[in-house]
Amino acid sequence: MQVVVRDNNVDQALRALKKKLQREGVYREMKLRRFFEKPSEKKARDQAAAVRRARKLERKRLERDGAFQNRR
């Protein structure tokens, strides 16, 4: 990962680097790898995340579809 330093402005480049790292999920990955995680814990965490994603998608779908039904 690279960040260009312009006009010797290191603070701005550092801020841009942190933003890129945040977007890529590097901080989340570091937090997860700090301690050993049992495979069963990883599986449970992944399944819980999948459930959250599915519920969020369903809420968005219902919100979109429900808005059209209320207008009619």
Q: Is the pTM of this model over 0.85?
A: no
Q: What pLDDT, on the 0 to 100 scale, is given for residue 69?
A: 63
Computed over every residue of the chain, the mean pLDDT equals 91
The whole-number average pLDDT for the span 46-67 is 92
Identify how many contiguous H helices and E strands the chain contains and give both numbers.
3, 0
pLDDT at 65: 87
| 10 token code pair | 């290191």
Measured between alpha carbons, how far is 10 from 70 in angstroms, rounded to an integer? Answer: 53
Residue 37: per-residue pLDDT? 94
Token pair 């009619």: residue: 72
- Map tokens 């977007």 to a residue: 23
Report CA 59 to chain centroid distance, whole Å.
18
